[in-house]
């Protein structure tokens, strides 16, 4: 499942943090327990992460791994939400730098996972091993048509990269011999996408969203750098209010986030004019991920629910770019970084074994 599973894990974790904080604020921060007991929700998070590990150890199949991602993401979000209690002597849940600690962890996980796959695509052995894992799922529970196609794409990539011909043939035969299985999740996903109005599925949204990311991040970098350079500035009258933060932890985080977004979005928009490959869309989606998730953490810590506007804009941009990336990958424009969580182009799987 690779980077897509990592991104889903982080998105679920961040959503859990935001929902938990919203729920606690609306309900007056209730406590579970009685007397001298307080069952912190970090314990529930640890239990869910443990359950995800146990399921992963004891079960086979894509469905089980997807369940592990969901349970692990929720558990990690519940655990991370109380990080302030773990780093302060007085167990301060509202510890200000908690958002910064979350930020660092999210950056390391998101950027690290993407760099591993983007900088070094799967080699022949890894492609064949990934295909063998899909074949093992097929032996255990059957293979849906989409998963079988993904396995064949990986086998063909392994063959093209020089994998042993006999190993390629054996894995290919296992993929073809696996019993068929339904693919209800993918079918539901396609039906859900079909409900989106055609206006929002238009490829014309990509340059709009992309250049908005470039412009927004450039302005954030410029104004953030100016605010740090002059040590902060505030002006207000009846018609205009201008506020530039000096150097502090939230402004530094937002500045770093803007720099990362600009470094991804600008080359991607330039690259779209020079290549038909998928990498510009991947970079734009990564830029939208950084803008959406990392800014949301800081904004919710500093602005409360006023950050919902920024979060909504970021989620819209992320949805547009993710949809266009999925369309491009299914069209077979570029197979670099093949991921079992991404649909490959349709291919015939009834041919003789490769090699």
| Full pLDDT tens readout for the chain, 355 residues | 566 788 788 888 888 888 888 888 788 877 766 566 667 888 899 999 999 999 989 887 778 888 999 999 999 999 988 888 888 888 788 776 777 677 678 767 877 777 776 677 788 998 999 899 999 888 888 888 888 888 998 999 999 999 999 999 999 999 999 888 877 766 776 777 677 677 777 888 888 888 988 998 898 888 878 877 777 666 666 666 666 666 676 777 778 888 988 999 999 999 888 887 788 888 888 888 888 777 776 776 666 555 566 777 777 888 888 888 877 776 653 444 444 433 444 443 333 333 3
Q: What is the pLDDT of residue 103?
A: 66
Query: Treating both helix axes as pointing N-terminal to C-terminal, what angle do 295-303 and 308-330 enclose, rounded to 10 degrees?
Result: 170
pLDDT of res. 73: 92
List the one residue out of 90, 65, 63, 88 whose CA is nearest residue 6: 65
User: What is the rounded distance in angstroms from the CA atom of residue 259 to the CA atom of residue 107?
Assistant: 13
Question: What pTM value is reported for the model?
Answer: 0.63
pLDDT given for residue 172 in this prediction: 93
Angle at CA of residue 59, ends 56 and 65, nearest 5°: 50
Nearest Cα to Cα of residue 301 among 112, 94, 123, 83: 94
Look at residue 234 in the predicted model and tell me its pLDDT: 67
- Asked if 320 and 125 count as a contact pair (C-beta separation under 8 A), the reply is no
pLDDT at position 337 is: 42
- The pLDDT assigned to 50 comes to 95
Instruction: Measure the CA–CA gap between 291 and 296, rounded to whole angstroms.
Output: 8
Collapsing DSSP states into helix, strand and coil, what is residue 278?
Answer: coil
What per-residue confidence (pLDDT) applies to 347?
Answer: 41
The rounded distance, in Å, linking the Cα atoms of 152 and 164 is 15
How far apart, in whole angstroms, are the C-alpha atoms of residue 186 and residue 256?
A: 37
Token pair for 190: 């396609």
Counted residue by residue, the chain has a size of 355
Instruction: Report pLDDT for 335.
Output: 40
Q: Can you give the pLDDT at residue 292?
A: 79
pLDDT of residue 305: 53
3-class DSSP state of 234: strand
DSSP state of 353: P
> What's residue 333's pLDDT?
38
- How many Å apart are CA 5 and CA 14, to the nearest integer? 14
Longest dimension (CA), the chain: 77
pLDDT at position 353 is 36
Q: Residue 160: CB partners within 8 Å, gap ≥ 6?
A: none
- Under 8 Å between Cβ of 262 and 224: no
Residue 51 pLDDT: 95
């Amino acid at each position: 499942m690779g980077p897509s599973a990592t991104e889903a894990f982080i998105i679920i974790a961040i959503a859990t943090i935001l929902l938990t904080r919203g729920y606690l604020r609306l309900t007056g921060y209730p406590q579970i327990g009685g007397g001298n007991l307080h069952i912190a929700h970090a314990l529930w998070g640890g239990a869910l992460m443990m359950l995800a590990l146990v399921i992963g150890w004891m079960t086979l199949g894509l469905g089980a791994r997807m369940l592990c991602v969901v349970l692990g993401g929720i558990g990690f979000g519940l655990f991370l939400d109380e990080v302030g209690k773990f780093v302060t002597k007085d167990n301060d849940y509202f510890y200000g730098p908690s958002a910064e600690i979350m930020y660092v962890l999210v950056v390391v996980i998101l950027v690290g996972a993407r760099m591993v796959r983007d900088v070094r695509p799967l080699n022949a052995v890894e492609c064949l091993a990934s295909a063998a894992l899909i074949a093992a799922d097929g032996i255990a529970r059957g293979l849906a048509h989409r998963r079988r196609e993904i396995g064949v794409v990986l086998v063909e990539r392994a063959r093209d990269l020089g994998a042993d011909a006999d190993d390629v043939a054996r894995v290919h035969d296992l993929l073809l011999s696996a019993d068929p299985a339904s693919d209800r999740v993918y079918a539901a996903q396609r039906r859900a996408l079909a409900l989106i109005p055609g206006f929002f599925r238009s490829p014309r949204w990509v340059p709009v969203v992309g250049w908005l990311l470039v412009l927004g991040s450039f302005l954030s970098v410029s104004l953030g750098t100016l605010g740090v350079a002059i040590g902060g500035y505030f002006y207000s009258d009846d018609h205009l209010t201008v506020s530039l933060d000096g150097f502090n932890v939230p402004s530094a985080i937002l500045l770093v986030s803007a720099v990362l977004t600009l470094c991804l979005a600008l080359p991607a928009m330039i690259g779209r004019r020079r290549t038909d490959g998928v990498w510009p869309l991947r970079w734009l989606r990564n830029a939208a991920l950084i803008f959406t998730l990392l800014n949301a953490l800081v904004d919710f810590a500093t602005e409360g629910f006023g950050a919902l506007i920024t979060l909504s804009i970021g989620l819209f941009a992320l949805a547009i770019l993710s949809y266009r990336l999925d369309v491009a990958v299914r069209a077979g424009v570029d197979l670099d970084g093949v991921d079992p969580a991404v649909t490959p182009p349709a291919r015939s799987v009834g041919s003789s074994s490769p090699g």
